[in-house]
Amino acid sequence: MRRLMVAGNWKMHGSRANNAQLVNHILLADLGEDGPEVVVCPPFVYLWETGRLLRGTSLALGAQDVCAAAAGAHTGEVSAAMLKDVGCSHVIVGHSERRALYGEDDQIVARKFMAAQREGLMPVLCVGETLEERESGRTAEVVARQLDVVLDVAGAGVFARAVLAYEPVWAIGTGKNATPDQAQEVHALLRARIAAQDAKISACLRILYGGSVKAVNAAELFAMPDVDGGLVGGASLNGDEFRRICEAARAQAS
Ligand code: PEP
């Protein structure tokens, strides 16, 4: 019922030449008609050119961040309208690196989410706990708080046009992924929280898992009932690896 999604977060990596090679490699993936929705998220400066490389393909273009404000005196920022203008359909909001390194709190993340939706972009809202939070038994409380800030301002209806990504911070870039059962437990909890407000929207919402997804573990993660694909960082920079992750999602769908 839910079409799987695989999104590649290139973070602050790449060059014009490397990006072209990477896209060409990803395009070799055999996605079939019922395959996953595949999104690539390059750094801002490469969006336009990457979008041109993707033109006429089934791959979508996403950004890694967006400004909460619509326009104006915000030096260094990029608005949702600008992202739309250069061909983006998706944007990651609330990535743990933005929260930890750039001081983004739940409120600013919620404003970014709404700014993206106002322009018709699909936000990919990231939530996830740190190792310390997990070890002190606070995972459910933390991810619920991160989700609730959007639910409280906007209601469950906005999740009809959004994607949620569970990204345990301790699994990001560490090579230590959550086990399928750990991921499923949190995904089910997130889905139930939205279902409490709107069961239909919750049933259709894609919840991606992110945190050291690789070709070797993608299939078992994507096989979990509430895991609807992956948000992939490091492995999305390796064309062959990312292609195999997309193909694992396709195998799951068929
Ligand atoms: C990410 O950056 O969203 C991510 C999940 O990174 P990695 O796959 O490298 O853990």
Which residue is catalytic, options 90, 95, 133, 247? 95
Q: Is the CB of 165 under 6 A from ligand 1?
A: no
What is the token pair recorded at 131? 């190792």
Q: Is the CB of 212 under 6 A from ligand 1?
A: yes
For 115-167, the pLDDT digits (tens) are 999 999 999 999 999 999 999 999 999 999 999 999 999 999 999 999 999 99
Long-range pairs, 46-49, Cβ under 8 A, ≥24: 46/14, 46/16, 46/19, 47/83, 47/86, 47/87, 47/88, 48/86, 48/87, 49/16, 49/19
The answer to whether residue 90 is catalytic is no
Which residue is catalytic, options 37, 129, 167, 241? 167
- Evaluate if residue 238 carries a pLDDT over 90: yes
Question: Average model confidence (pLDDT) for the chain?
Answer: 97
CB 131 within 8 A of CB 169: yes
Counting from 1 in the atom list of ligand 1, the atom nearest the Cα of 177 is 10
- Evaluate if residue 1 carries a pLDDT over 90: no
| Average pLDDT, integer, range 40-50 | 98
pLDDT band, very low/low/confident/very high, at 239 (cuts 50, 70, 90): very high
Q: Identify which of 6, 11, 221, 236 to mutate to test ligand 1's pocket (most ligand atoms within 8 A of the CB).
A: 11
The set of residues, in sequence order, having a beta carbon less than 8 Å from that of 75 and lying 6+ positions away, is none
Place of tokens 């992750």: 245
pLDDT band, very low/low/confident/very high, at 253 (cuts 50, 70, 90): confident
Counting from 1 in the atom list of ligand 1, the atom nearest the Cα of 175 is 10
Counting from 1 in the atom list of ligand 1, the atom nearest the Cα of 11 is 2
CB 20 within 8 A of CB 233: no
Q: Identify which of 131, 166, 176, 232 to mutate to test ligand 1's pocket (most ligand atoms within 8 A of the CB).
A: 232
Report the candidate in 215, 251, 209 with the shortest Cα–Cα distance to residue 7.
Answer: 209
List the beta bridge partners of residue 125: 93, 164
Q: Identify which of 64, 92, 166, 167 to mutate to test ligand 1's pocket (most ligand atoms within 8 A of the CB).
A: 167
Instruction: Give the global pTM.
Output: 0.97
37 C-alpha to center of ligand 1: Å? 18
> Could you count the other beta carbons within 10 Å of the beta carbon of residue 67?
21
| Average pLDDT, integer, range 70-84 | 98
Q: Is the CB of 217 under 6 A from ligand 1?
A: no
- Evaluate if residue 237 carries a pLDDT over 90: yes
Whole-number pLDDT of residue 12: 98
Long-range pairs, 30-33, Cβ under 8 A, ≥24: 30/247, 30/250, 31/58, 31/246, 31/247, 31/250, 32/250, 32/254
Counting from 1 in the atom list of ligand 1, the atom nearest the Cα of 165 is 3
Place of tokens 């959550």: 178
